[in-house]
Structure 1
Amino acid sequence: MRTLLVLTTLLGVLSNSSCSQAQSDDPTAKTHKESKKGGKKDGKKGKKNKEDTLENRFIDAAIPGLSKLAVISKVPESSSLALADQPGTFYTNADAGNSPTLYKVDLKGNLLQEINLPVANHDWESLAKDDKGNLYVVDAGNNNNSRKNLVVYRLNPAAPQQVSQIPFSYADQTDFPPKKENRNFDCEASIWHAGKLYLFTKDRAQQSTSKVYTLNDQPGQQTAKLIAKLAIPGEVTDANLSPDGKRLALLGREELFILEGNDLNAIFKATPRRIDLGGAGQTEGLVFTDNQTLIISTEQGSLYQYKL
């Protein structure tokens, strides 16, 4: 039924357009089908402007508030997003099977810088940033819930060879892996707030609960403390806190969950509001640029802006 409604809306948008049938059949117009390693790139000679593509008419019609900005170039996958040092720039990274590299990109998808770190990339899935400009690379992807070498790398991008480590384990995990119905120890999302890291799990068992753990942001072996369980009917792939600290966004696969409150304690007790991102792709990276605006990236390389 949802697909029928989306297609009906799309037909209405196209029927009101002044474009001819020949323009609609333009072979340069993009579709949602993109390869896992990045898909076709925007901005090549002969491509139509983003406002004229069939794909962006579909997105605008199906998902109010969502607009496609670009396709990230020269990055094998985008598994997370964090604000970089200049407005309109971001750090991202690829996950398991890729090099231990941070990529700095802009809103047009341009690759501005590559930062190679002197550590391993077992499965980098999330980036967090503190108020001093430090980045926290969360190497805690754990599809099978069997890893014992979970770690967060802390660094300043201005001195990337100086990396400190926060190895950690979950306080409530005793089996590696646990039984299938208890596999909720895969972390692909994190935030930093007031000296602490908050880790959000991707529920691979029931797909109904994201557990929230805390670590302090100082190097050294730690045990992640379970502080909350959020009723999220999906698999969380990234997280970010709004600049005013009153809105938590959790990204899922083609869906977004918003929790609001005056502080984190209130936010963790709030009822999530779900936003459908159907058709956007394998959504993996998320960051606020202001209290109402989110930038979202997909593993295929698409870069979106979403206005709440």
Structure 2
Amino acid sequence: MFRYVLLDSSQHPRFHEKLERRQVLYRSLFEGHAEEALPDIAPLLIDATIDCEAMQTVIDETTRIGKLKPCVSMLESTLPLDRLAEHFTQFHLVETSNGRSMLMRWYDTRILPIWLDILTDAQRNFFTHPIAQWTSIDRVGTEQEHTSSKLGAETPIAGHTPLQLDERQVEQLFAAAEPDLLLYELRKTLSKQIDSIPHRVLYPFVHAHWQMARQHGLLDRNDQVQFLGLALYTSGHFVDHPIVTNWLARAPQAHKQDPDTWLNSLPDEVLSTGAPLWENRIDHEHELHHAKRSALP
């Protein structure tokens, strides 16, 4: 059995230079593709099979990186380095139902769980059949084991590359990325405040309020950003203001104003319903529970 570390170096650039200095074997999963000329940000498959001081240093460093950024997995495989890298490079691109090609960053550990979930049994079997064990470090720094039920069988069904994803699969992938895109937009004006919130609190909070926004007909990203801004500025308690409570009680089609007009017409007193999440150090878990409860239809 061979052991590997898989690092998405787009979140820790030029890591391949450290590997070369330490004479650690690795392969870029960009090899054979147009992005091959970008080794600084390539996904790196690092051979961790040989137990030595240099390898332990790499394992310790990549584990530390993975605790901070969602970019590290640990694998056990039946394939040696070159053959496993060749296998994984098949999934660099996927085809959508309209015939377009899409770069698939499945090695980003924010994407990996939903990627494994949306694949059909045959596709998952084709993707994972060389893998005996797969553990990733998720967005909040917790190790997540992808159990055997999510991995392939010993004998894979013949696959087709690039994988072809149907419309539903593509929608699920994009939906899973939406909370991160909203956080990106929010950081443009609230970067310091948002970065002071523990990520184990921030992401579930944003995800719960994003779901709430969608349930109530706020489908435009700008509207969702405004809605999430209210949530962050009040630790989610803006939903307790009578104007907001009444609005949320109606079916989306019953609203007399479009979401943007309604959001911009809210009185300043809505912001006084609670303290900003970044100032609320007392009970983050309570605020998350409050968000989830408020999101219920």
TM-score (structure 1 length as normaliser): 0.21
Higher helix share: 2
Bigger CA radius of gyration: 2
Higher strand share: 1
